[in-house]
Amino acid sequence: MDMICSFRTEVTLVANEFIDSYMAAANGEYVKVYLYLLRHQQDNVDVERIADDLNHTEADVRRALAYWERMGALISDREEKTVQEKLPAQEQNLTGKEAARELTNEKDGQERIDRLAEDEDFTQLLYIAQKYMNKIFTSRECQVFAYLYDELHMPAELLEYLVEYCVQSGHTSIRYIETVGLNWHEKGLRTVEEARVYAGSFTKSSFAVMRCFGLTDRKPGDGEKQMIEKWLSGYGFSLEVVLEACNRTMAAIHSPSFRYADKILEEWKKAGVRTVRDIELLDEKHQTRKDRRTVKKASNQFHNFQQRDTDYDAMVLDQVKSWIGTESVR
């Protein structure tokens, strides 16, 4: 079907990477917000203006911004309450050292691709990955796999499983695959079996947290997965400790809140908590301090009451003396 656009002036360019890797997974409202920001990338726009211009609610706009931040497509300047898009390198107006660095990185990436062209394992990896993702890779996508394979020395079999794992989880963005790959590398995963065990344990823990929060009708979102990952890997807590924080969240506010649970776990981390027994000891110390404050408060109230009585007696005594003096004059 031949279609001709009627708009021929003042165009806004959209990166192919956005169309290829991001647009399909996002809902229409999120895409509208992204395109609006792309159109106004030279302006300082706030949430209220975006909502007015797009006929959205401010809550809708904030959800869209949070989504694109999680996906790595936006950088939010919260202090100025404005939003700036992080455009792909080829669409930025770079000068001087920044431009030279981008050109160098691009050149290095292409040189790596050229050098690996004769590597049978790598070419097979690209073939399998493209089959899994049902697409022909761009130069950028090839460079990501080349970096993981050649620079980080991740085995081709592990990278094939990486693609399989991400695609089966519903993620086909090269940025997402790259992030997971870097995470696996940082954790020292070198074999498919190690990655499978790690991914399986993480998935099991994630659903345990969702059940604890009563969220049994859906999978955890990207932001929720990141928090669970931080609790288990970043903080090093056991699943038992994490679930205790979730239970206390529900008891305190009667609704699921990853942010509330995160605050609890952050405080436990500062206090050196490692086990549920450590939490119990921390509770005991807290109760002891609370009891002492209660006793001290009651004691202060008693003494204050006595002091008020003493002052009152002195006032009455002064009044009696004044009466005696008056009678003497008479």
81 and 25 share a domain?
Answer: yes
78 and 129 share a domain?
Answer: no
Q: Decide which of 41, 66, 87 is a domain's last residue.
A: 87
Residue 197: inside a domain? no
pLDDT digits (tens, 9 = 90+) for 209-247: 999 999 988 888 878 888 898 898 778 889 999 999 999
- High-pLDDT (> 90) share of the chain, %: 29
181 and 120 share a domain?
Answer: yes
Measured at the alpha carbon of residue 259, what is the angle toward residues 201 and 181, in degrees to the nearest 5? 40
pLDDT band per the 50, 70, 90 thresholds, residue 129: very high
Q: What is the CATH number of the domain that holds 72?
A: 1.10.10.10
Q: Report which of 192, 188, 121 is spatially closest to residue 162, judged by C-alpha positions.
A: 192
The span from the CA of 178 to the CA of 148, in Å, is 8
Residue 6: inside a domain? no
Q: Decide which of 58, 87, 116 is a domain's last residue.
A: 87
pLDDT band per the 50, 70, 90 thresholds, residue 321: very low
69 and 31 share a domain?
Answer: yes
- Contact criterion met (CB below 8 Å) for 86 and 8: no
The span from the CA of 231 to the CA of 265, in Å, is 7
Q: Quote the pLDDT of residue 139.
A: 84
Mean pLDDT of the chain: 77
Q: Quote the pLDDT of residue 296.
A: 65
31 and 83 share a domain?
Answer: yes
Per the structure, how many domains does the chain have?
2
Q: Decide which of 87, 110, 127 is a domain's last residue.
A: 87
Residue 301: inside a domain? no
Side chain identity at residue 236, one-letter code:
G
Counting beta carbons within 10 angstroms of the beta carbon of residue 83, is it exposed (0 to 12), middle (13 to 18) or buried (19 or more)? buried
51 and 132 share a domain?
Answer: no
3-state percent breakdown (helix, strand, coil) of the chain, nearest 5? 70, 0, 25
Q: Which residue has the tokens 């089966």?
A: 168
60 and 103 share a domain?
Answer: no
119 and 78 share a domain?
Answer: no
pLDDT digits (tens, 9 = 90+) for 23-54: 877 888 888 988 888 888 767 778 888 888 88
23 and 57 share a domain?
Answer: yes
Find residue 84's DSSP bridge partners.
75
80 and 128 share a domain?
Answer: no
33 and 73 share a domain?
Answer: yes
Q: Report which of 173, 118, 112 is spatially closest to residue 148, judged by C-alpha positions.
A: 112
Residue 112: inside a domain? yes
pLDDT digits (tens, 9 = 90+) for 170-179: 788 888 899 8
Query: Could you tell me the residue range of the domain that residue 59 belongs to?
Result: 16-87
pLDDT digits (tens, 9 = 90+) for 281-298: 988 988 888 777 776 665
Residue 139: inside a domain? yes
Residue 308: inside a domain? no
Residue 73: inside a domain? yes
Counting beta carbons within 10 angstroms of the beta carbon of residue 244, is it exposed (0 to 12), middle (13 to 18) or buried (19 or more)? buried
pLDDT digits (tens, 9 = 90+) for 2-20: 555 454 556 777 877 778 7
Residue 107: inside a domain? yes
